[in-house]
Amino acid sequence: KSNIDFKRRIKTFKKYPAIEGEIMFIDEYKNYKKENKYTLTKRHFYRSIVRDVMEKVSLSPKCIKRYPEELSDVQAQEIVLARALIMNPEIIIADEPFSILDISSQAKVINLLKNLVKEDNLSLLFIAHNLEVVRYIADRVIIMQNGKIIEEGSIKKVYKNPTHPYTKSLINSIPSLDNPLKIRNYKSNIPSEVNDFMNLGLSKKE
């Protein structure tokens, strides 16, 4: 688990007293002391790492002493992401990370994830039901139905030329201003198993 972490939801750090303590409360933190050349005290050393990560996810230093209930939904998601990044993971698993966010807040977190993948050479496993978001954030996509993979490939290939009937139904269900009929036909085009499907967006590091 040293090179992988999960992007957990806000509930995972409700029990900690303040944001700084939540991010620092990681057993593996001792590994940092071996790998870095900091000469500061242990406390200052940890704080310097926490502040670096918070800056990376665009969080104000003022948030470091706040409690979870004092954060906005966006700040909460950024804190959760900071907690994952603190261990320098090679891959981040983001399972429906935008479910509690409004549209404008989603855009901010989406762009943050894309920038982290690009700048930090990360891989991102993005699990979502929103096909438009998957198309924007991922390089490759896996379509699942009833727990089984039915189609996979590059975003361009799958979205432009889907081969499985279920994938075609999902793609056709995306609302479009150019083709309002898609919206009216939404229910009739989707198989009854719609609640069982999962779309996995894969964003690979270079």
- pTM of full prediction above 0.95: no
Instruction: With cut-offs at 50, 70 and 90, classify the pLDDT of residue 23.
Output: low
CB 195 within 8 A of CB 114: no
Q: How many Å apart are CA 73 and CA 45, to the nearest integer?
A: 28
Residue 6's pLDDT is what?
Answer: 42
Nearest-CA neighbor of 68 among 134, 15, 106?
15
Give the angle 118-110-22 at the CA atoms, nearest 5°. 90
Query: In whole angstroms, what is the distance from residue 72 CA to residue 172 CA?
Result: 35
- Domains contained in the chain, CATH given: 10-200 (3.40.50.300)
**Res 140: pLDDT:** 94
Q: What is the predicted pLDDT for the residue at 143?
A: 93
3-class DSSP state of 4: strand
Q: Please tell me the least confidently modeled range out of 117-126, 160-169, 194-203.
A: 194-203
pLDDT at 193 over 50: no
* pLDDT surpassing 70 at residue 41: no
Vertex 198: Cα angle to 112 and 204 (nearest 5): 40
